[in-house]
Homo-oligomer: A and B are copies of this chain.
Amino acid sequence: MTARTRYLLDEERIPTAWYNLAADLPAPLPPVLHPGTGQPIGPTDLEPLFPMALIAQEVSAERDIDIPEPVREVYRSWRPTPLIRAHRLEKHLDTPARIYYKYEGVSPSGSHKPNTAVPQAFYNKEAGVARITTETGAGQWGSALSYAGALFDLAIKVFMVRVSFEQKPYRKALMQSFGAECVPSPSSETEVGRRILADDPDTTGSLGIAISEAVELAAGRADTKYALGSVLNHVLLHQTVVGLEAMEQLAIAGDEPDVVVGCTGGGSNFAGLVFPFLGAQLRGGKNIDVLACEPAACPSLTRGTYAYDFGDTGHLTPLVKMHTLGSGFVPPGFHAGGLRYHGMAPMVSHLLELGLIRAQAFHQTGCFEAGLTFARTEGILPAPEANHAVRGAIDEALACKRDGTSKVILFNLCGHGYFDMAAYDEYLAGKLQDRDYDQAALDRALAALPAVAGE
């Protein structure tokens, strides 16, 4: 092997601006609508939930948005992250493809999530906010925001989907280690929570419910705002440091990607890697094949409807146009908790509609199999979410082998699996099964989509 294994950048090379894909889109995003009036909402409608700086980013059409120096200062703790050439995986697969992965698991909470948790905490602190509420499923986002809260001296309250709270006590312990408060959702602390608990005291909870609780609490208190870990434009924007660094690192490697792969739950790690490359393509650069890998048990991009829907179960959020399985859809239990969301980021949904990306759904056992192959060659055990991207990248590399083509494949290894060992334990014991969603429940959830005039 003469080519390098890890492409590192010094901290001076952390991007100075995030990249905003909205500036280069061939068609604008459909507007966000007020659920009562059906009219587009304005920035002030979002003010109870977010500081104005983040709202401005949410609606901005500027291409480059400066990263504040205090945020870059924190990024230095783990950024730039390494771009790694998967020499051993290539050899194991006996593929002519060249495989690179951007490894975001080196961050304080082990995934890409701190890329947006840190600026969100910064802008909230700047705006005089004392406390941030949020939801978390698998716990990746909750622990990232807990970390950011510790740095900017903000109180963090995390509503964690009850089934995860009980099954993953160690993620909770990590959030508490960073000084945050973590409560199981639904809780008795909100009206939404109390209503749902009254209906079903044994409910496992869901991401949609936890969002409703966090939003309700933030909307009701002047010193408290809300933070979301994916889906929204400003969250995806913050993640573009991933792709911007990867472009520079691939240039050092002397390669350009033919295929770019990411897993999609809400869409943020996918967007972070992909948007800068797609932007270059839209400005006249090389055409790339972009693959979104989603779970077959919660397939919003491949089986959802592109329609206006609520972001939460309690219907407290505005309406956004996205690929959705319906806000009432509850996916079956599977081990990539970070991908168990009924909707998809509007920006990612828009790209699929425009034909700029493609999507494929994967069952979990095939993803875990890919994850073990990766661990035994590359030495990193991926998070179950990331295994979807690993599966997608391996399948692309095997297609290259069949076709005798030597493509450059780039994927986002968005997090490590050290907090997900129970899932690996189950898989290794042969106890893990593929679970399909309930078609009748999906049909019901889609039939209940809100009616929007003119749609």
Q: How far is the CA of A170 from the CA of B177 in the complex (A)?
A: 20
* Interchain CA distance A107-B422 in the complex, whole Å: 21
Contact of A147 among B177, B179, B379, B419 (CB under 8 A): B379
A1-53 CB contacts (< 8 Å) to partner B: 1, 4-6, 8, 10-11
Question: Please, could you name 13 A-B residue pairs with CB atoms under 8 Å apart, sorted by A?
Answer: A5-B76, A8-B8, A8-B10, A106-B106, A108-B380, A150-B376, A170-B421, A173-B422, A173-B425, A173-B428, A174-B421, A418-B418, A419-B421
Among A11, A110, A375, A421, which residue has the most Cβ atoms of chain B within 10 A?
A421
Contact of A375 among B5, B172, B178 (CB under 8 A): B178
Q: Which of B173, B178, B179, B428 contacts A176 (CB 8 A)?
A: B428
A202 to chain B, nearest CB (A): 24
A287 at the interface (CB under 8 A from B): no
Q: A76 vs B114: C-alpha distance in the bound complex, in angstroms?
A: 26
Interface size class of A (residues with CB under 8 A): 35 or more
The CA-CA distance from A11 to B6 in the complex, in Å, is 7
On chain B, the residues within 8 Å of A4 by CB distance are 10-11, 76
Q: Is A68 an interface residue (CB 8 A)?
A: no
Chain B residue nearest in CB terms to A368: B177
Residue A357 at the B interface, CB < 8 A?
Answer: no
Q: A437: CB under 8 A from chain B?
A: no
Chain B contacts for A173, CB-based, 8 A: 421-422, 424-425, 428
A256: interface (CB < 8 Å) = no
Q: For the complex, what is the distance from the CA of A378 to the CA of B114, rounded to whole Å? A: 13
Is A88 positioned at the interface, with any CB of B under 8 Å from its CB? yes
Which residues of B sit under 8 angstroms from A380, Cβ to Cβ? 108
Bound complex: CA of A377 vs CA of B152, how far in Å? 10
Closest-CB distance, A436 to chain B (whole angstroms)? 26
A224, chain B: closest CB distance, angstroms: 21
- CB of A264, distance to nearest CB on chain B (Å): 24
- How far apart are A73's CB and chain B's nearest CB, in angstroms? 6
Per-residue interface assignment for chain A, residues 141 to 158, with 1 indicating a CB less than 8 Å from any chain B CB and 0 otherwise = 000000100110000000
